[in-house]
Copies of this chain bind each other. A is one copy, B any other.
C-alpha cells in the first residue's frame, strides 16, 4: 500500500485517483492516514462549504443535482459529500438518491462521494469533515454536504458548513413539526421544493410565519425541479451568504466544534485500545455499582 502521506501531493494537484484513495482511507478511519489528513487540513480553507439538509422525501437529492449543474455553469468545480443513513441490514445508501444524482455525473468538474453513517459508537459519519478537507485542498471551490433527516448528527454536519440550506416540501405532514423541533435555527437559507404542487403556497406561508418569530431574516426560496424554477435564485442566495460577514465567525465556530469532536474521537480510540485492560477493570466496578460511570471516566482521563 502506498503510504497516505505520498498521496498528498496528488490530492493537492487535484488528481482524482489520489483524492478517491485518500477519501476511502479517511472514511475507514485508518490511523495510518492521520498525518496525511493533518497536512491536507493545512492546505485547505479556500472552499465554500454548503450544507444541505431536509427530511426524507423533501426532494433534496433532486435539488442537489440541479444545484450542482447550476454552480458548474459558473465555472466552479463542485464536490458533494452525501451522508446517507445506513442500517446494519441494508448497509448502504438509499438507491433512489444515487440515481437522481446521475445527471451530473460524468462531468470531471464534479465529484460525488457517498459516506455511510455509522450506527455503532460514535454516530456522526466518520470522515465527513476530513472528506470536506480533502475536496477543499484538491481545489474544489464549492463543497456540498448533503445530509438526511433532522437528528442531532445531521445538525452537527450542517454546522460544519459555512452556509446551511434546509429543504422542506409540501405534503409532508410532519415536516413543519420536524423543522420546529430542531433545524429551524440552523438554516441560513430555506428552500421549499416541489413548488409546482398546489399545496406549496401553504408550506411557504407556514414557514415564513414560523420564521417571523426569529430575529434574523432568513430567505425562503421556492423551487420546482419539474418546472426548472428557483435554482438560480438559490445559487444567488448561497453566493450572497458567502459574501456576508457571517462566514468568518462561522469558520471559527466550525474549528471550535472540530477541536471538540477530535478530542472525543481520541477518547473513543483510547477506549478501544485499552478495552481489555484499564477499561475492562473500570467496567467491572461500574457493573458492581462500586463506581459511577462519571467517576470511572475521571479515572480513565487521569483526573482522579
Contacts and interface: CB of A to CB of B under 8 A. Distances in A.
Interface of A: 34, 37-38, 41-45, 55-57, 85, 87-90, 94, 117, 119, 121, 123-124, 148-156, 172-174, 177-178, 180-182, 184-185, 213-214, 251-252, 255-268, 271, 279, 282-283, 286-287, 289-298, 300-303
Contacts of A261: 293
Contact of A266 (B85, B90, B154, B297): B297
A6 to B, nearest CB: 18
A302 B172 CA distance: 49
Nearest to A178: B56
A263 B297 contact: yes
Contact of A149 (B181, B256, B287, B301): B181
Given A259-B279, A301-B267, A42 B177 contact: no
B172 A42 contact: no
Contacts of A251: 287
Contact of A255 (B38, B41, B287, B300): B287
Contact of A45 (B94, B149, B289): B289
A150 B294 CA distance: 27
A177 B57 contact: yes
